[in-house]
Chain A
Amino acid sequence: MGIIEEVFAIDLPVGEQFRIQRCRYTPIGGKTEKRISIVSGIHGDELEGQYVCFLLGQWLRANPDKIKATIDIYPAINSLGIDSITRSVPFYDVDLNRIFPGSKNDFLPAQIADGVVNAMKGSEIAIDIHSSNVFLREIPQVRIAKSQEAVLVPLANKLNIDFVWVHDAVTVLESTFAHAMNTLGTKTLVVEMGVGMRLGQAYGHQLLDGILHLMASEGFLAIEPPKIRFPIQSHVGEVAYLNATSPGLFVPAIEHCQMIEEGSVVGHIVDPLSGKTLDEIIAPIGGILFTLRAYPIVYEGSLVGRIFGENR
């Protein structure tokens, strides 16, 4: 049975508290310094991680004798946002994942970030589960800054995801939870999967298997690691971005996560007022359509898809 603990609380102005809770599972009859943190809800409109937290908690409750180290589950960091369909920290309109490591001497979002870091500091591993936003649907993937590639890619390969995307270092991403935790020595993986404001049960179960596999192979669980798939590695190919060239309504022509040939039609942008088709989105390369727009309204530049194609 996990123990529910409050790790951060601040009084709100009118008879309520903002709080961050975790459920902590520990080995039966034994103390351990070894710890892993499973995190979701840094963005209030991303709910896939909540389901994974539930599935993991359900598994741990059923298998307490298999727990070899401390397992902390934080389903809702931006709890105000999650309960109000708000991506950012309500009231302040600040993206929590651009304010890490935070500070006790700054405004509320920075204090929340500081509280999160202090709660998780000392974890050996953290898994930060994001959905995409409400606009895009993503296959389960881990995104890793190039500077962390050597440490994190082997870990990401254990997560039963479909794609490991190593990207160039971007200074602005130094304000993320993952960067803050990696800097502190906690190996932190960022999972993106599904779409904002929705729940994809299959992805949830897929990632649960991955987390169990990772925890088994890293010594957090005494189980035979479940069988997993090996993800596509971004270094073996290239990512093509598909951006809308006209404003309108994007109507996809194919399903998400399909193999697609170069030159084939990904979708159309149409004008509901005139009845005209404004643009046809064509795949510039062949490969897997790993990102597909879920929210149909687009402006010029809106991302409608991403294709990963292997180098020939």
Chain B
Amino acid sequence: MRRFEILNLKSPNRAPLKVEGFLFAEDQKGPSIAIVGAMSGDNVNQLYVASHLVEYLRQKEEEGKISGKILVIPAVNTYALNMGEKFWPLDKTDINMMFPGYKEGETTQRIAAVLFEALQGYDYGIILEGRRDQGMCLPYVKIIQSGYEDLDAAKEFGMRFIHYRPYSPIETVMLQYNWQLWGTKAMSVVFGKNGTIDPNTSDEVQGALVRFMAKRGILGLAVFDGYESNIIEPEHINILKASCAGIFESAVACGTHIYKGETLGRITDALSGKKIEKIVAPCDGVITCQYSHPLIFQNSIAFRIASTD
């Protein structure tokens, strides 16, 4: 393993921002992979998985089990992680909205440019992503239809769901889209609840990453098969909104099979304590995502249900 500095950016008053990479088996000729962890300061679960993966791979390298180059970057926006911020602490820009980066541009464009350069030339690229809303979800693979995506590779994670959809305009400045355009088979694994660590979810994601690397000949390991992934397109997701605002209590966990008519959660008036809404499943399916903050806004999405109905 080689631990090295990808970026060292001086700050006016803080210690420099250092983005570090961990490189394994750099001389091996098998397929290569780069894995990017926390790009924002609330991606704590992503940091946790990436750093555990570094330790796991260190052991596997000692055992001679790695047959392709692996780069892991556990954290990009360490400045934000270290102060409870989400985005770049000075100008609040999102590093994952700056790709492919620009070396002569603004600070986060420069950070993205250096990072993007370090990520070139890998066969596979995995981005460990948190959610962009106040939700938590069953871990899933997100792959956007850029024209360069590799859906077959995404199935090798053995995750229950692959969310496969067209890209939105803002995704054209994100890492996955640009990484795909530059020739790496890039995809994201989205999981967790921002700002927290869930050991079970983390274990599932790490298992999926190991499975992917084993199936793609990067790790010389025998692994159990995962799920035969369901490809979920937007029309398969049933959105269940809260019609009232208040205190939200969920009665189900992500991943739960639910049946039409089942109570999924309740909303209580935050001041009077009166129970004002019972959220009921409109169909059979699997809870893929749910609102994760105890206070809910009117019309917020309380649950997303993957359904074959």
Contacts and interface: CB of A to CB of B under 8 A. Distances in A.
A248 B90 CA distance: 13
Nearest to B173: A172
Contacts of B172: 171-172
A170 B179 CA distance: 18
Contacts of B134: 91-92, 107
A243 B104 contact: yes
A23 to B, nearest CB: 24
B147 interface: no
B246 interface: yes
Contacts of B87: 93
Nearest to A134: B91
A135 B91 contact: yes
A302 B270 contact: no
Interface in B65-82: none
Interface in A1-54: 10-15, 18
A104 B239 CA distance: 11
Most chain A CB within a 10 A radius of its CB, from B9, B86, B107: B107
A106 to B, nearest CB: 7
B11 interface: yes
Given A91-B134, A301-B106, A14 B297 contact: no
Interface string B1-33: 000000001111100000000000000000000
Contact of A171 (B107, B132, B169, B239): B169
A299 B298 CA distance: 40
Given A243-B105, A301-B110, A12 B169 contact: no
A300 B10 contact: yes
Nearest to A174: B169
Contact count band on A: 35 or more
Interface string A250-278: 00000000000000000000010100000
A223 interface: no
B270 A298 contact: no
B170 interface: yes
Contact of B107 (A93, A106, A249, A299): A299
A133 B11 CA distance: 21
B244 interface: yes
Given A135-B91, A243-B106, A18 B297 contact: yes
Contacts of A273: 13
B110 A111 contact: no
B111 to A, nearest CB: 8
Nearest to A99: B170
B168 interface: yes
B133 interface: yes
Most buried by A among B109, B170, B239, B296: B170
Label chain B's interface by main secondary structure: loop
Interface string A234-247: 00000001010011
A175 B169 contact: yes
B297 A108 contact: yes
Interface residues on B, range: 35 or more
Contacts of A271: 12
Given A300-B110, A301-B107, A249 B245 contact: no
B9 to A, nearest CB: 6
A13 B296 contact: yes
A135 to B, nearest CB: 6
B292 to A, nearest CB: 12
Interface in B127-183: 132-134, 168-170, 172-173
B244 to A, nearest CB: 7
A98 interface: yes
Given A14-B270, A300-B10, A106 B301 contact: yes
B12 to A, nearest CB: 4
Given A301-B105, A301-B106, A13 B11 contact: no
Interface of A: 10-15, 18, 87-88, 91-94, 98-99, 104-108, 111, 133, 135, 171-175, 241, 243, 246-249, 271, 273, 297-303
In order of increasing CB-CB distance, the 6 nearest A-B pairs are A13-B295, A11-B245, A11-B298, A174-B169, A301-B107, A299-B107
Interface of B: 9-13, 86-87, 90-92, 97, 104-110, 132-134, 168-170, 172-173, 239, 241, 244-247, 270-271, 295-301
22 contacts: A10-B298, A10-B299, A11-B245, A13-B295, A13-B296, A14-B246, A15-B271, A18-B297, A88-B92, A99-B170, A104-B299, A105-B239, A105-B241, A108-B297, A171-B172, A241-B104, A243-B104, A299-B9, A299-B10, A299-B107, A300-B10, A302-B107
Given A299-B10, A299-B90, 11 more contacts: A18-B297, A94-B132, A99-B170, A107-B133, A107-B134, A107-B301, A171-B169, A171-B172, A301-B106, A302-B91, A302-B106
